[in-house]
Amino acid sequence: MAFNGIRDLESEKQLWSGHCRVSRAWLGVNVTTDKVLHFDLILMDAKGNDIWVHIPPVLQEHFKRLLKEQQVYTIKNFELHTTQLKYRPIANTYIMSFSRKTTVEHVPDVPSIPAFKFKFLKASITYVVKPKPTLFYRGDVVKVIIWGRVVADFDKLIKPGDDEQVILVVTAVSVKPFLGELCFNSSGSTVLYPNLDIPEVKAFTTRNVQPQQPVFVELPPPPFIPNITLSELLELQLDPDNEVRL
């Protein structure tokens, strides 16, 4: 069934067809093993509505070859599912699913379809920790901790001694403690977008921001606990924010 816009998508009992822009595309990666787990997209229509696409591992190589970020495609025979996942990159309650029946065809650019859409975090966040509410930050400065392949991506964008101003949009971050302080942490789905042509980035270029160099921290090895029985393990009072080796 054809649709005119993403908000027309409401039934989970039929196959849909329509055209959208691939606003964002990324690989979900296990940050510990660097193994690729899935291929995900954010599709956008001409009204600025978006939807998350989750492509299963068995089909990810096929669609990675066919779909490129910022290109417009006619997409046929995909399905919809409601999602109760805690992590969702956008607010849409539906998630789009591709299968072996799904086909994509590249079409000429449609200027009316926006390129990017982000929901930026506001300048004040409250984070609940065991279970006391703690003020995370209030103001202009916040720490972002990046891991694994995101560090390599960062190094390609930020060159030592380069005076050019770089404003990064950092996607798919979580709020976690790091060395005793609450910070934004990159995830296996984090992508860095430099100097995007969007209103939020343009507004940021007019602000008087003092440059700061990134800080590289060498983490100590996790504490070692000798071999113990399962019953002893269950009795341990471990801090859920810390890692231990058994």
Q: Mark whether 138 and 56 lie in a shared domain.
A: no
pLDDT tens digits for range 182-234: 788 888 788 899 888 888 888 877 776 666 666 666 655 655 555 666 666 56
pTM of the model as a whole: 0.67
Q: Mark whether 103 and 129 lie in a shared domain.
A: no
User: In this predicted structure, what is the pLDDT of residue 66?
Assistant: 94
Q: Flag whether pLDDT at 16 surpasses 60.
A: no
Q: How confident is the model at residue 96 (pLDDT cuts 50, 70, 90)?
A: confident
Q: Mark whether 131 and 103 lie in a shared domain.
A: no
- Find the range with the poorest average confidence among 24-38, 42-56, 79-93, 131-145: 131-145
CA dist 158 and 153 (Å) reads 9
For 174, the domain range is 124-204
- Find the range with the poorest average confidence among 78-92, 148-162, 201-215, 216-230: 216-230
Q: Mark whether 98 and 170 lie in a shared domain.
A: no
